[in-house]
Amino acid sequence: MKVLSVVGARPQFVKLAPIAHEAAARGVEHVIVHTGQHYDPMLSDVFFEDLKIPAPAVHLGVGSGSHGQQTGAMLAALDDVLESQQPDWALVYGDTNSTLAGALSAVKLHIPVAHLEAGLRSFNRTMPEEINRVVTDHAADLLLAPTDVAMSHLADEGLAPRSVLVGDVMTDVLLQVRDAVAGRPPALLAELGLEPGGYSLATIHRAENTDDAGRLGAIIDALAAVDHPVVLLAHPRLVAKARDAGLALERGSVRVHAPLAYPDLVAAAVASRGVVTDSGGLQKEAFLLGVPCTTVRPQTEWVETVELGWNVLVEPGQALVAATSRPTPPDTTAAPYGDGHAAARVITALESAAPSP
């Protein structure tokens, strides 16, 4: 069996790691194609190095642009790669423009498509990620769902016959990295003069939060008003949009820091008193690490984190400020994101459904 993974953005490199390792262990031929959506070394190269992912066989170098430009450039380049590689499966991850391009290019070439992290829904169609997920799920031949809730969304859309519950591959990576960094104080503590448990860790990058100057200003105002230090890991999109809007990021409680490599991020989250984010992955990572999360969005795809009391959804303003000082919820034994062996189930599902030679 030959599997071709299409990846391009930071969270996809994390999800790729356990798949690449499992494919290698099981003797599956695995070709990695990097679209180039993320090109900054701290958003791309360090993930390949730290998570020991083989270098991509093909790098499309697409870079930034409008949704149409970026997705169109990926589609044109992927057509050639997929035609020459002729994999048994094109495997696409998550909900970015790289996911959509990989799925559309492969399905039009009659190459079977599997979607990892299928079935997530925010039901907010103004989010580019929501459109990418819905279109990808309906184009794909095999839907690899992380949770029971994702399976039920797929069933509601008539996609149950193509769906398999595999668990969440991010859990696979996170549990390994958490154990590897245990007892190692995060480098940023010394760098910023902070104590373990004495700061919140924040990331903000989603278009709906960064691209409206008023909303972005309200988020930064709220972070600045928190009663303890807030380490803001500034994604390039946030930096660019704040600059365009003439907004200073570092004020009040906010301490700006560059994005972190994955092990450093996990260590920094473990040592924090809470996480404030609009990332999908970090909501779940906080839950798995037993750290309270405050999500600056009206909806979440990871509803289990809210239902179990570890995540609250807030609007920028006093609700955000107050949420950063709420008490830690009681421990839970619930494991909605699987057992850390999702990648093995993904490869088994691909083998079971692969066309015979």
Length reported for the chain = 357
- Considering only the stretches 92-100, 112-120, 297-305, 325-333, report the one whose residues sit in contact with ligand UD1 under the rule CB under 6 A: 92-100
For position 38 contacting ligand UD1 by CB under 6 A, the verdict is: yes
Query: Taking CB under 6 A as the criterion, which residues in 218-247 touch ligand UD1?
Result: 235-237, 240
Q: Which is nearer to ligand UD1, 54 or 236 (CB)?
A: 236
Which residue is listed with tokens 């990295």?
177
For position 11 contacting ligand UD1 by CB under 6 A, the verdict is: yes
Q: Going by C-beta distance under 8 Å and a sequence separation of 6 or more, which residues neighbour residue 324?
A: 200, 226, 227, 228, 230, 273, 274, 276, 294
Distance CA 228, CA 86 (A): 54
For position 79 contacting ligand UD1 by CB under 6 A, the verdict is: no
CB of 160 to ligand UD1, least distance (A): 26
Q: Which is nearer to ligand UD1, 96 or 253 (CB)?
A: 96
Which residue is listed with tokens 């992290």?
117
| CB atoms near residue 165 (< 10 Å) | 19
Q: Going by C-beta distance under 8 Å and a sequence separation of 6 or more, which residues neighbour residue 91?
A: 3, 4, 5, 6, 19, 113, 114, 116, 350
CB of 259 to ligand UD1, least distance (A): 9
What is the pattern of x (binds ligand UD1, CB under 6 A) and - over residues 328-357? Answer: ------------------------------
Strand blocks (E) in 174-243: 200-203, 230-233
* Cβ atoms 135, 100 nearer than 8 A: yes
CB of 299 to ligand UD1, least distance (A): 14
- Binding ligand UD1 (rule: CB under 6 A), the pick from 5, 35, 96, 305 is 96
Catalogue the active-site residues: 205
Interface residues with ligand UD1 (CB under 6 A)? Answer: 9-11, 37-40, 43, 64, 95-97, 128-129, 205, 235-237, 240
